[in-house]
Copies of this chain bind each other. A is one copy, B any other.
Amino acid sequence: MDIRTLCLGLLTRQEATGYDIKKVFEAELSYFYEASFGSIYPALTKLTEEGLLTCTEQPQDKRPDKKIYRITPAGRLVFLDALKQQPGRDHVRSDFLATVLFADLLSPRQIAELIDARLIDTRCQLAEIKTATQNCRHSSEHFIAGYGLAVLQAELAYLEEQRHVIEGENLAAVNSATSQIAAADD
C-alpha cells in the first residue's frame, strides 16, 4: 500500500490536513510506515484532482492557509477496493542486522557499542509507541500498537540474551546460536 492510498484511508476516519496526516505517520504508524511531506502533499493534491477528496481552505493569520481534506464517496469506494487486495509480505530493511552480518569485521568494542545503541533505540521506540497509543480511538489501532510492542519486546529479549553470540569470538558462541534455533523448532 503506497502513501497515497494510506492518506486516503486515514481520511475515511476523519478530515485532516497534510500536517495532521504527517503526525499520524510519526505516531500511530511509526512502527510500520514512514512518510515525508514530499510524498504526502503531492498525494493529497492528486487525490483531490481525481475527485477522491475535497479540499477546504481555511485562512489563518500569518500562516499558510490550512487545507482541510475530506474523502468523497468516490474516494471511499476506491479505498475499499484497495483494501480488499490481499496484502503482500512485509518489507523489512534493517541496517542494524546488515551491519551485524559482518560483525566479524568489527572490533568487539564496536560490536558492543552497536548493540548498546540498538538496545537504547529499541527501548525508545517502545516508549514512543506507548505514548502514541494513548490517542488511539479504534480497537484496530490498539491492535497494531500491540503488534509493534510485541515485536520490539521480542527483539529486546533476543538481543539481551544472545548478544554474546556475536560479541564473544569463540566457538561456544556458535553452538549457543545453533541451540537457540533448534529450540525454536518446538
A33 and B98: CB pair below 8 A?
yes
The answer to the question of A119 belonging to the interface, with a C-beta cut-off of 8 Å to chain B, is no
Instruction: Return the contact of A105 from the options B32, B83, B90 (Cβ within 8 A).
Output: B83
Give 25 A-B contacts (CB < 8 Å), ordered by A residue: A29-B101, A31-B92, A32-B97, A32-B98, A34-B91, A83-B106, A87-B95, A90-B92, A97-B144, A100-B140, A101-B141, A126-B184, A130-B184, A130-B185, A137-B181, A139-B165, A139-B166, A139-B177, A143-B165, A146-B184, A147-B155, A150-B155, A150-B158, A150-B184, A153-B154
A6 to chain B, nearest CB (A): 6
The answer to the question of A88 belonging to the interface, with a C-beta cut-off of 8 Å to chain B, is yes
> Complex Cα distance A180/B87, Å?
25
B87 and A98: CB pair below 8 A?
yes
Residues on B with C-beta less than 8 A from A99 are 1, 83, 87
> Complex Cα distance A150/B31, Å?
17
The answer to the question of A78 belonging to the interface, with a C-beta cut-off of 8 Å to chain B, is no
B139 and A173: CB pair below 8 A?
yes
**Overall SS of chain A's interface:** helix
* Interface hits, A1-31 → B, CB 8 Å: 1, 6, 9, 12-15, 29, 31
Cβ contacts A121-158/B at 8 Å (1 or 0 each): 10001100010010011111111111101110111011
Copies of this polypeptide in the complex: 2
A180 to chain B, nearest CB (A): 5
The answer to the question of A174 belonging to the interface, with a C-beta cut-off of 8 Å to chain B, is yes
B6 and A98: CB pair below 8 A?
yes
The answer to the question of A80 belonging to the interface, with a C-beta cut-off of 8 Å to chain B, is yes
